[in-house]
Homo-oligomer: A and B are copies of this chain.
């Protein structure tokens, strides 16, 4: 996992050279290279290898998924959205630069993500590249990340049901994790059955990811998280611990890990080891 993260970091660094206009490339690099956990690209590469592909064929799409993720963080942090000052332990993009630059850096990362996959993917058939691009798009737009953020913004201060909460998480978190895994499997040459099993795995992982985020928000400090802690309580946001209680939420984590791992049972256990490990890592991470 560490070697995968290193490769991704190197590839991300190479993907955006510091060229003119300097300011926008600085802003793109500032957020993209701020040292995230790289969970999405690692999942992407692991899925590629699980279906028998060489890791290298999925590097461009793994980077693209991380660019999309970074774009969504930059835009979600804006004053007119979640108005967050701290992200990954550093000032958010609009604080380090300014609002216009933050918006444009996000736009540019989003556009580059698609361009990067189209221009840089090698040794994969064009039809698989097209399929991956459609998958990425559906994870971002008004049926993906954007849908989640819109509903999230509309529901602040309202009482949410568990179903509504799940809608937000599925769209804000699961969809992109799903795209990461599915695109990795597409690039790796996976067949339709393998891709659909991995899609289900990713959905459980996605939900898991958010449930754990909610737990961390109420149990950890800002310093430990590298972002503002306790924010959900202050803003009166619906969270799993609030709706289910902390103990039940922790039980739910165990249940989701089990379901995710079940989807891997049809694959070779050795090859699937990184994805088992990732499920564990996401469930029991401390920040």
Residues of A whose CB lies within 8 Å of any CB of B are 16, 20-21, 23-25, 28, 71, 75, 78, 80-81, 98-101, 103-104, 106-108, 110-112, 114-116, 118-119, 125-127, 129-131, 133-134, 136-138, 140-142, 144-147, 149-151, 153-154
Of B20, B111, B127, B138, the contact of A137 (CB 8 Å cutoff):
B111
* B-side contacts of A149, CB under 8 Å: 104
Of B28, B127, B151, the contact of A126 (CB 8 Å cutoff):
B127
Question: How distant is A11 from chain B, measured CB to nearest CB, in Å?
Answer: 17
In the bound complex, CA of A119 to CA of B131 (Å): 8
In the bound complex, CA of A21 to CA of B23 (Å): 35
Are A111 and B108 within 8 A (Cβ)? Answer: no
In the bound complex, CA of A133 to CA of B134 (Å): 11
Q: With contacts A107-B107, A130-B118 known, is A101 near B137, CB below 8 A? A: no
In the bound complex, CA of A41 to CA of B99 (Å): 31
Are B110 and A107 within 8 A (Cβ)? Answer: yes
Seed contacts A101-B150, A104-B149; 17 additional CB < 8 Å A-B pairs: A24-B147, A28-B142, A75-B103, A80-B98, A80-B100, A103-B103, A106-B107, A107-B145, A108-B146, A110-B110, A114-B114, A115-B134, A115-B137, A118-B130, A119-B134, A119-B137, A130-B130
Of B100, B133, B153, the contact of A114 (CB 8 Å cutoff):
B133
* B-side contacts of A134, CB under 8 Å: 115, 118-119
Question: How distant is A177 from chain B, measured CB to nearest CB, in Å?
Answer: 17
